Structure 1
Amino acid sequence: MSTTAPARRTRERLSAIGTFARRAVVMELRVYESIGRAIIRRPAVPHGAIGFHYHQPVQTILIVFIVLSALEIPIIDLIVHPWPVVRIAFLILGIWGLTWMIGLLCGFFMRPHTVGPDGILVREGLEISISLRWDDIASVSRVRNVDEPKSPKVAESDGITSLSVRMQDETNVEIALEHAVTVRLPGRQPKGGAHAVEVIRFWVDDSDAFMAAVRDFIP
């Protein structure tokens, strides 16, 4: 028994490290993919679908961080100028951080929600992407919710499990599903991993246009 417990904990730690490493690699690749898509102006929108942005609540914050990151590079370079090795290390780190922030902003622009013949694609930044077929969807409605800060994405109320993909703690569109659909969130359980949900809530900047596009497929 005493031998099994440490072995199990070791396996759990290794699994956690592996999950984190995979997640970090995926995010890093999507940073550069999003920058590339922004340069060639080709958002990740399926053929025949329409993209809908959701970045307005966080756009100002991200731009401020990008500007601060850009200003930080020459300031730190001036401070550590007498030490070439330190200077180069901070320069590389600063450029990487600035690139990452630009890629994150591009991810919001280049990975929009979509509505098309195959269904609805719900996204958030670099990681979340949930594909819903029209056969899975019972209804789509405009319902504005403002949740408490740091509320869990997945929650159960009155026997119904919901997923909230919030922007600044807010959602304004709600999809009720015909049956529970398994969605996969980044990270490990309980916050990440696979969850069976019956309602999905998320934010759309232009909810009027989004609902108009949905009515082309759900009268």
Structure 2
Amino acid sequence: MSTGVQPARGEASVWSRVRGFATRALRLELRIYASIGRLITRRPAIPAGGAGFSYHRPVLTVLIIFIVLSAVEIPIIDLIVHQWPAVRIGFLVLGIWGLTWMIGFLGAFLMRPHTVGPDGIQAREGLEIDVPLSWADVASVAPARRVDEPKTPRVTETDDGATLSLRMQNETNIEIELERPIRVELPGRAPKGGVHEVTRVRLWADDPKAFLASVRTHLGAYTA
């Protein structure tokens, strides 16, 4: 005899996913405009006393090409559909929104750099990923260039724990060993997203020497 429990659970699961998707979409939209605001005012998200280190160089050309194509697309489509006002307005709004989104996405890479400061390291990527690592969590930071296979997951399991890799074009050049496993939350649902425990963080810095020099300065001050 059916109790009706399973359909109710299934419906709750669907609505939970819809709410999660809507919340993430809204958060992304707000961060797009926040990134544009920071870009206009030239105020990168760097904590007081800290230094920012860019990681956008490997993808900058691709992002600029997408922005240019998005801008060129607007008048071309407008010319094609200009005789249908309703369609024209719809495509115009969609085109401007898409161009704004691409500019904000680029702004996130430019205005949300990795940071090294008195409290530790913030490892970032684009709009959503921000992993704070306090100096108490950090065992060592070293140069370690690595190229992974395309589509390798951000979190990979090894015999000595899990590694979070914030790659640019499949590459990382800094490796941060942690004193103990820490919990990090990644965008999306498991297994790619969600909460993971990691013992190592790999990232890409456009200027790894400057990044490491700043780490030595702040880590030395912390341990003194």
Same fold (TM over 0.5): yes
The answer as to 2:214 corresponding to 1:205 is no
Structure 2 partner of 1:127: 128
Most deviating of 133-142 and 8-17: 8-17
SS at 1:149 equivalent: coil
State the Cα distance separating 1:191 from its structure 2 match: 1.1
TM-score (norm 1): 0.97
| Partner Cα separation in structure 1 for residue 219 and residue 30 of structure 2 | 35
Deviation at 1:13, TM superposition (A): 1.6
Question: Residue 34 of structure 1 corresponds to which residue in structure 2?
Answer: 35
Code of the residue aligned with 1:68 in structure 2: it is L
- Quick one: distance in 2 between partners of 1:101 and 1:85? 25
Residue 89 (1) aligns with residue 86 (2): no
The runs of 5 or more residues in structure 2 that have no matched partner are none
Aligned twin of 2:163: 162
Moved more, 83-92 or 155-164: 155-164
Distance 2:40 2:56 in 1: 18
- The runs of 5 or more residues in structure 1 that have no matched partner are none
Over the residues paired in the alignment, what is the CA RMSD in angstroms? 1.1
Q: Look up the SS of the partner of 1:144 in the other structure.
A: strand
Q: In the alignment, does 2:213 pair up with 1:215?
A: no
TM-score (norm 2): 0.95
Aligned residue in 2 for 1:11? 12
Q: Secondary structure at the match of 1:213?
A: helix
Hey, what does 2:48 align to over in structure 1? 47
* CA distance, structure 1, for counterparts of residue 12 and residue 189 of structure 2: 14
Residues 154-200 of structure 1: CA deviation (Å, up to 9, x unaligned): 11111411111111111111111000000010111111111110001
Per-residue deviation at 1:118?
Answer: 0.5
SS in 2 for 1:218: helix
Q: Please state whether the residue corresponding to 2:218 is helix, strand or coil.
A: coil
Q: Is the 1:163–1:197 contact (alpha carbons within 8 Å) kept by the matching residues of 2?
A: yes
In percent, how many aligned pairs have the same letter? 61
CA contact (8 A) 2:116 2:218 kept: no
Q: Secondary structure at the match of 1:168?
A: coil
Given that 1:53 and 1:204 are in contact with CA atoms closer than 8 Å, whether structure 2 keeps it comes out as yes
* Structure-1 separation of matches of 2:158 and 2:82: 57
Q: Quote the residue 1:25 is aligned against.
A: 26
